[in-house]
Structure 1
């Protein structure tokens, strides 16, 4: 091969080479799209790599299996969910614990409604995990609000962590109800749910 051919070949390889984080995102996005369209079981690794236009070796360079890419999608979903709640609550007055609680409930329901198809893919439609990082992180997030409100004298909690866990499970239950009933505008719905919980917390 001539020097010019070698240089041209090297340039071609360079153009095709992408940073690892870009290639990983491409593979994950392709997998998520196919999982949503066809289901996890019906989607093959060959279809994922064909969608991205890479060799099978590229897939296995970043992911050990289809289950491994599902785990990566799960982590990305958890990060997205937590960030959405953080951003919503951050808009509130840091000393207004009632508003923070209401916004947390509303953002939780809205984010879940916006993303439940992906949620069902990464966790399974009827998932039951005793060690669930998403649940633990969201419960801790809520626990911070409940603890702040208790310290401010707004409500009294005998078992803060258990209270946060019960609210978390209840919010996801009513969110599933909203999905089942194809509820589009959840503003009044979320406000009502939050107020019911505030009544239970004996908010002033």
Structure 2
């Protein structure tokens, strides 16, 4: 093979971020299909079409890929909510809260099976960085809204916890509720939460 032919060949390896994404996508699909405990690292590398050494280049254990999937989910979830809140007028904190309620429900329902697998079916510490990121998002909104006299929240940490976990509990109950649906829950939560913020 001439030198010119060698330099025009396609690279044999994919970029690191592509390879990482393929490993995570393979793990996610297998965890959803077989469950976390029943999935092996060998299953993941086979589905991703890579060598085991490639997996261990990115992750040292199966729980590491699970944590990476949790982070990816929370990035997606929080970015979706941030985009909706950032589209609101900067000082319209009530509309931002409304968007938080509605988009939280939509996002949660959209990927509920994935969320439940990542955060409910597999053990994780109750005090974890993923939940803290979501709580911080709503707590910041409550603090800024209080500073701008949109509402008066004296306990933003407690109130953000009630709002966040209230939303999660309501979505978890969607299949059993006779009072609300996925389409009506967001606006109903907003109405309930604004009563809490008076």
Smaller-chain TM-score bracket: 0.7 to 0.9
CA RMSD of aligned residues (A): 2.7
In structure 1, how many angstroms separate the alpha carbons of the residues matched to 2:139 and 2:91?
Answer: 15
Q: 2-side partners of 1:9 and 1:48: how far apart?
A: 32
| 2:82 paired with 1:94 | no
1:106 counterpart (99, 102, 106): 102
Partner of 1:49: 45
Q: How many residues align?
A: 198
1:1-204 equivalent positions in 2, closer than 5 A: 4=1, 15-125=11-121, 129-180=125-176, 186-202=182-198
SS of 1:46 mapped into structure 2: helix
Instruction: Please say if residues 85 and 96 of structure 2, whose CA atoms lie closer than 8 Å, have aligned partners that are also in contact.
Output: yes
Counterpart CA distance in 2 for 1:54 and 1:182 is 48
C-alpha deviation, 1:162, in angstroms: 1.2
SS at 1:15 equivalent? coil
**TM-fit CA distance, 1:170:** 0.8
In structure 2, list runs of 5 or more residues that go unmatched.
none
Query: Larger Cα Rg: Structure 1 or Structure 2?
Result: 1
- Equivalent residues of 1:113, 1:179 under 8 A apart: no
CA distance in 2, matches of 1:98, 1:148: 11
- C-alpha displacement at 1:25, in angstroms? 0.6
**1:53-78 superposed Cα distances (whole Å, 9 cap, x missing partner):** 22222212221121111111111111
What secondary structure, in the 3-state scheme, does the structure 1 residue paired with 2:173 have?
helix
TM-score (norm 2): 0.87
Contact 1:139 1:165 in 2 (8 A): yes
